[in-house]
Amino acid sequence: MTTRQFTITTKDTSTDMRTITLNAPAAPPRWALLTRLYMDAQADAVEEFFAKYFDERGYLMCVPRWGGDDGPDDAAENLLNFTALYTIGGRQSVLDCYRRGWDGHLAQYTEAKTVDVPFARDGMYYKEFPTMFDWMHNGEGWSAFTLEPLADPYDDKLLTRSRRYAGFYMGDEPGCDNWDPENRLIRSMINGSRGPMMRQATGLDWAGDRIEVEGRFRLGHGERNYEEMVAHFKDYNDVIGDHPLNMHTTSLALNVYALTGEDRYRDWALDYLDAWLERIEANNGILPTNVGLDGAPGGRWWGGVYGWGFTVEVPQTGEMQDRPFFKMRAAPGLANGLLLSGDQKYVDAWRTTLDGVNAGAKEENGQTLYPTMHGDDGWYSFVPEPYAVSARELYYWSMRADDRLRVTDDPWLDYLDGSDAGYPENALESSLEGLRAQMEGMRTDHSSPDTRLSDDMNRYCPSDTDPLLMLGLGAIPSGRDGFPLHARVRYFDPKGQRPGYPDAVAGLVTKLAADSTDLTLCNLDPVNSREVIVQAGAYGEHRFTSVASDALDDDVKLDAADGGAIRVVLAPSAVASVTLGTDRYVQLPTALPPWDRR
């Protein structure tokens, strides 16, 4: 058996990091080879995808439209995960494609105008931001931008835009009165750079201008004509007052705080989230989806578009369909408070919501049924399983045993718990096959730009970073939800002075506990040593307390000054496992790399 030698050297005072040398040569593990192959293949695919569907200005080659069926957010989703891929260690070309595409997107949808929809007649974007829309859609469109600070925190254009975007909700931008400071609320579910919508919304507002459909466009919701598009949104009316989706705006403030450390952005976000905690407490522990202009849950706390009671008609079939889409974004919005403060009270509020819903269970024919919706007559839409939306995320944030019991049929968590050692390789192999199929579909797409809506290309968007984030960083992917990244570790290349794995390096998180992180690092280069910095958390929000290995006589203790990151020197062909003692959510988030911390 190969003897593994680990050396801990003294702290490098120039960077406040311990340097750890791992000399443990072994055959390269398959997961590491697959990780590097998948990263490189995605970069190749991104370059080809971008060249096919974007022009030289960075404009998406489609018919630009406004609306919830197909609109600006769908166009921006064609850049999904580009910034995440670069942050993990993807090639510079990936970030270059994102920047050209994002600049082009903002210009293209500023130029694009509606004829009938009143608030976008002078441009769908104003001040490089949607004029008025909801944060389920805005969040999807802003997904790649939200993670841009992790890719390059020094870009002046990024900081300028981040300040402006947060300013729309903090009262900084003239003529934009989304924020009510007295009642600590955002005045409408539909809001943006032109302010809040303070009237009932219409199907036209949501569906956009009339378009030719049959024989030309494929609609994402399955509508067969424009009339069905409008009918899809005919009940999307009750938008006045605050809404859980608006918690998404705290991501904008968090980004500015992570870039600058300016307290006013953190203070505003926490104050707004605290207002939501008060509303949840006032509503018997359940998150309300209808908040009046006085800041209190309305008499029908379950109301509002995408709320607890939002069941609407499908125009193609006449069937009724539940669409409580707030639920997909509520818990991550609350978790911005955890990231900004380290206080578990923000995610505790989602636990009380889950428990409050499940308390409405009923017995029927000897079976316990659990509600998923609430209307004028109480709970409805019962199912056999307990309500567990965002249960995995809740467990990840809390690491409480009782929260783990809420999560079933989760292969990643089962792997981290010690089951299915082959999961990493299987997940990466499946992702490689998915990428191959996407590229095959893209190469056989012979559509012309005037027959494409903006989301037609999303099915071919090749950047799927979920397995890389989960396996390598021990992270909860934010995907198209558009929230900041929660991760146990993040990597930096000190030689290249950039985020992500250095060349020939790969990592695998093998276990997560409340106070520790098990990590295997691999240097695939049999000739040269490689240096990698391992940071505690995506934004340095965690702190390492120790480094342990069976090759060390004693744990290496780390103090508060040097626990934010460690520098690891990997000898040629090193494959080494370490256990990192971890204090979670104990440091304020920053997007700056470890070598620039003060």
What is the token pair recorded at 157?
Answer: 């254009």
Question: Phi-psi category of 432—alpha, beta or left, where left has phi over 0 and alpha has psi -120 to 50?
Answer: alpha
DSSP state of 579: E
Give the burial class of 101: count Cβ atoms within 10 A of its Cβ; 0-12 exposed, 13-18 middle, 19 or more buried.
buried
For position 562, what pLDDT does the model report?
Answer: 77
Average pLDDT, integer, range 409-426: 97
What does the angle CA 246 – CA 143 – CA 324 come to, to the nearest 5 degrees?
Answer: 45
- What pLDDT, in 10s, does the model give residues 449-476? 999 999 999 999 999 999 999 999 999 9
- What pLDDT, in 10s, does the model give residues 231-265? 999 999 999 999 999 999 999 999 999 999 999 99
Phi and psi at 304, nearest 5°, equal 95, 155
Strand partners, 548: 579
- What pLDDT, in 10s, does the model give residues 172-190? 999 899 999 999 999 999 9
For position 372, what pLDDT does the model report?
Answer: 98
What is the token pair recorded at 562?
Answer: 């040097």
* CB of 505 closer than 8 Å to CB of 515: no
Distances (CA, A) of 137 to 206, 240, 248, 333: 11, 17, 11, 14
- What pLDDT, in 10s, does the model give residues 560-595? 777 899 999 999 999 999 999 999 999 999 999 999
- What pLDDT, in 10s, does the model give residues 365-406? 999 999 999 999 999 999 999 999 999 999 999 999 999 999
Spatial CA neighbour of 572 closest among 526, 504, 520? 526
Taking the C-alpha atoms of residue 194 and residue 132, their distance in angstroms, rounded to an integer, is 6
Spatial CA neighbour of 93 closest among 121, 51, 53? 51
The H-assigned helical ranges of 112-147 are 135-141, 143-146
- What pLDDT, in 10s, does the model give residues 88-137? 999 999 999 999 999 999 999 999 999 999 999 999 999 999 999 999 99
Phi and psi at 429, nearest 5°, equal -65, -40
For position 561, what pLDDT does the model report?
Answer: 76
What is the token pair recorded at 14?
Answer: 């120039």
Domain residue ranges in the chain: 5-28+488-591
Taking the C-alpha atoms of residue 239 and residue 198, their distance in angstroms, rounded to an integer, is 8
Percentage of the chain beyond pLDDT 90 is 91
Spatial CA neighbour of 192 closest among 157, 144, 234, 141? 141
Spatial CA neighbour of 369 closest among 357, 356, 386? 386
3-class DSSP state of 60: strand
Task: Give residues with Cβ within 8 angstroms of 192, minimum separation 6.
Answer: 126, 129, 130, 131, 132, 133, 138, 168, 178
- What pLDDT, in 10s, does the model give residues 131-172? 999 999 999 999 999 999 999 999 999 999 999 999 999 999
For position 219, what pLDDT does the model report?
Answer: 86
Spatial CA neighbour of 258 closest among 151, 186, 343, 396? 151
**pLDDT at position 307 over 60:** yes
Taking the C-alpha atoms of residue 489 and residue 544, their distance in angstroms, rounded to an integer, is 10
Taking the C-alpha atoms of residue 86 and residue 93, their distance in angstroms, rounded to an integer, is 9
The H or E element spanning position 542 is: none
Taking the C-alpha atoms of residue 329 and residue 247, their distance in angstroms, rounded to an integer, is 9
For position 35, what pLDDT does the model report?
Answer: 98
Amino acid at 455: D
For position 6, what pLDDT does the model report?
Answer: 36
For position 550, what pLDDT does the model report?
Answer: 65
Taking the C-alpha atoms of residue 121 and residue 112, their distance in angstroms, rounded to an integer, is 9
**pLDDT at position 554 over 80:** no
For position 3, what pLDDT does the model report?
Answer: 31
Residues 234-264 as b/e (b if ≥16 CB within 10 A, e otherwise) read ebbbbbbbbbbbbbbbbbbbbbbbbbbeeee
Task: Locate the DSSP E strands across 133-258.
Answer: 179-180, 185-186
Residues 516-551 as b/e (b if ≥16 CB within 10 A, e otherwise) read bbbbbbbbbbeeeebbbbbbbbbbbbbbbbbbbbeb
Instruction: Look up the pTM and report it.
Output: 0.96
- Pairing state between β 17-23 and 565-570: parallel
Taking the C-alpha atoms of residue 276 and residue 287, their distance in angstroms, rounded to an integer, is 8
Task: Give residues with Cβ within 8 angstroms of 246, minimum separation 6.
Answer: 135, 186, 189, 191
- What pLDDT, in 10s, does the model give residues 7-44? 333 344 345 688 888 888 899 999 999 999 999 999 99
- 5-28+488-591 has which fold? Immunoglobulin-like (2.60.40)
What does the angle CA 110 – CA 112 – CA 113 come to, to the nearest 5 degrees?
Answer: 105
